[in-house]
Amino acid sequence: MKIRVGFGYDVHRLTEGRDLWLGGIKIEYSKGLIGHSDADVLIHAICDALLGAANLRDIGFHFPDTAKEYKDVDSKLLLKKTLEVLTEKGYRIGNIDATICAEQPKINPHIPQMQKVMAEILNIDTDDISIKATTSEKMGFVGREEGFSSYAVALIEKI
């Protein structure tokens, strides 16, 4: 059995007047993340981890922010397309471990729904997608509530 590991990282700024999308779900909050797509920082980090594990470059290569078809796109579609690319190359997902860094709002209550939504898209068990939330203890851009960051590691197996 051949296994591979990939790492993903993403960051987006917060702003007024945008919806907050994380892990494929809309979270009620006074601000949202800025990006060419819906700026779902968690899904973007997971896509990068999966693509990197398969040596398929990164999310910007596959879904460039200069492409009109990805303007304001739902990141769940990017996740689905990432799975399609992995499958075409002969891989399946073993597991994903991800962390969201944000001061507010509290993310932990939303984690089970995020797991459910992304597990359905990726055709894996909710047990195979770990999501954790943390703050940056009021330090840096996350601590000043200027934006969110997210990290992800993915294990894939050759079918």
Question: Does 137 count as an annotated binding residue?
Answer: yes
Question: Does 12 count as an annotated binding residue?
Answer: yes
What is the 3 state secondary structure string of the chain? CCEEEEEEEEEEEEEECCCEEECCEEECCCEEECCCCCCCHHHHHHHHHHHHHCCCCCHHHHCCCCCHHHCCCCHHHHHHHHHHHHHHCCEEEEEEEEEEECCCCCCHHHHHHHHHHHHHHHCCCHHHEEEEEECCCCCHHHHCCCEEEEEEEEEEEEC
Question: Does 15 count as an annotated binding residue?
Answer: no
Whether 18 contacts 34, CB under 8 Å:
yes
Question: Does 58 count as an annotated binding residue?
Answer: yes
Question: Does 44 count as an annotated binding residue?
Answer: yes
Question: Does 134 count as an annotated binding residue?
Answer: yes
Question: Does 144 count as an annotated binding residue?
Answer: yes
Per the annotation, binding residues for a divalent metal cation are 10, 12, 44
Per the annotation, binding residues are 10-12, 36-37, 44, 58-60, 134-137, 141, 144
